[in-house]
Structures are given as structure tokens and as C-alpha cells.
Chain A
Amino acid sequence: MKIHLTRRYAFAASHRLHSAQLGEEENSRVYGKCNNPYGHGHNYVVEVAVSGPTDRATGMIANLSELDAFVDREVIEPFDHKYLNEEIAEFREHVPTTENICVEIFNRLRHFPSAKLERVRLEETGKNSFEYLGESVGSVQ
């Protein structure tokens, strides 16, 4: 049986969309309100999907307490109530769009020891969400 287990987590953080590769006017045009120099925040929701054999003894793909602790350590602790542009090294060089945050979260979680990371889905608001399945999957799914 192919089974994916998905768990939802939440964190709140601020960011500013501003690219060093674009001029002031261009940044303002491309990013609009999100280019506000003081930044702004969101309540992000992260869905983490893992797969693997269901352990006969426990009935589980992965023990939730282990997954929760891993996601908490790798993502929630470092991201929650932070200014992503300054406090997450990756976003000193890359614009913290939800696309880039989604990929960064996937990269931080890909080494979860107890199951295979299948997908990270990140909601910036109730209306916007992004999914990343890793590079090997390609664009067909």
C-alpha cells in the first residue's frame, strides 16, 4: 500500500520582498505592497507529507512525536516569530517569496531519518499556497 502521512504545522513570520538584482523602482513595480521597507507578516501553514512502509508493530509510517520534534527543531523554532530576511541565512541572498520558503523548508526536512519526505505545501494565506516535491520528481505530478 502506498500511503502518505501529512501533518500540518503553523508559524508566524515577517518578510520583505526585495531583490538586490532589481532597482528601487523595479522592486516597487514587481513586488508592490510586499516591497514595503519595514516588512510585513503572515501566519504560515506548512503541510509536511512523508511516506514509507507502515511498521507492523506500531501501525505507523513515522512516529508523530518524532516527526513533530524534527519539524519543530528544523523549521518552526528557527522561523516562528522571526524576520525571515535577516534571521534565516538562506534569505540574506534569496528573496523570501513563499516559493523560496517552501523549497528551503523542503531542504531542511529532506533528511528526516524515519520516512521519505514526499512533499511540502506552504500556505502564505488562506488563498495562496505552494507545493514542492523535490527536484527528482520533475514537473509531471
Chain B
Amino acid sequence: MVYLTRKMEFSASHLYHNPAFSAEENRRVFGKCNNPHGHGHNYVLEVTVAGDPDPATGMVLDLKELKEILQREVSDRMDHRFLNYEVPELAGQIPTCENISAVIWRLLEPKITRGHLHRVRLYETPDLFVDCYGEGNGAGNGTGVTR
């Protein structure tokens, strides 16, 4: 088994606000991220695909194909967008790294037809990232909620 990782960046804005919370509760829980005008990040996405290299091509999957999938599924949807309002897959969710990575997982997983999606790593800043392993592919028993 070989793990192949492709990296890409996208820039987007977001804000954290739960309409079920009071204004004070929103400020207390989300702090600066509750600014109603939003704020942005340069997100760095690392997508890891696991598989055995094809004997004929020596590839797990064609990097060009993966690049196109990332462009179509992630970049076209999220790059230079306001995530709260412009990404339907995030509607009704707080666009945290956790939730964005789960959305990206669900978008990519069915598109990876050679090998299988192993991990989606999403950096919000160099000091904060999440790893999403889907519903359980050997990364341990899923303790996360399914939505």
C-alpha cells in the first residue's frame, strides 16, 4: 500500500454564528470568529489517497486526475467564497475546520475511483489543522458524529 498526497490552497472567508445562541453566547463561545462581517484564511488542503501502484503505469492514480478532482470539487466551490453563504454543502453548519473537512471528505470520497481516500487534512493556519478519516478506514473506531 502506498499513500499519495496532493496539496492545494484556497482562500475563503467565514464567520461563526449559531442563530440558536444569544448574541452574548455567540461572542462568548466563538470570540473574534463571531465578527458579523466575517474574516478569511488561506486554507491549505492535503488529500491523501491510499492504494497499490498500477503495474502498467506505476501510479496509484494519475496526479493530473486528482488535481482536476480537487479543482472541480473543492477549489471551484470554495476558493474566494464566503463559506457561510456560498457553499450549499455547509448550509446550516458552522464552517469550522472540522465541518469543512467533513464536507470535503464527502465530496471527494466518491470521486476517487483508483485507490481510496485515506485522509483529508485541512490547515486553517500553520498552527491549526484537522485530519478527517471518514467513517472508519483503519484510523480507529469513529467517535465522531455522522451528519
Contact = CB atoms under 8 A, between A and B. Distances in A.
Interface of A: 1-9, 49, 51-54, 56-61, 63-65, 116
Nearest to B103: A1
B63 interface: no
Contacts of B43: none
Contact of A63 (B29, B127, B129): B29
A9 B128 CA distance: 10
Interface of B: 16, 18, 20-21, 29-31, 93-99, 101-102, 105, 126-136, 139-147
B144 A65 contact: no
Contact of B98 (A7, A8, A9, A60): A60
Contacts of A52: 143-144
27 contacts: A1-B135, A1-B142, A1-B145, A2-B133, A2-B134, A2-B142, A3-B130, A3-B132, A3-B144, A6-B129, A6-B130, A7-B128, A8-B126, A8-B128, A51-B143, A52-B143, A54-B99, A54-B102, A54-B145, A56-B145, A57-B21, A58-B18, A58-B96, A59-B16, A59-B96, A59-B99, A116-B143
B110 to A, nearest CB: 15
Given A54-B99, A54-B145, A116-B143, A7 B127 contact: yes
A134 to B, nearest CB: 12
B127 A2 contact: no
Closest 3 CB pairs of A and B: A59-B94, A59-B96, A8-B127
A3 B98 contact: yes
Contact of B101 (A3, A49, A60): A3
Contacts of B97: 5
A122 B105 CA distance: 28
A27 B102 CA distance: 50
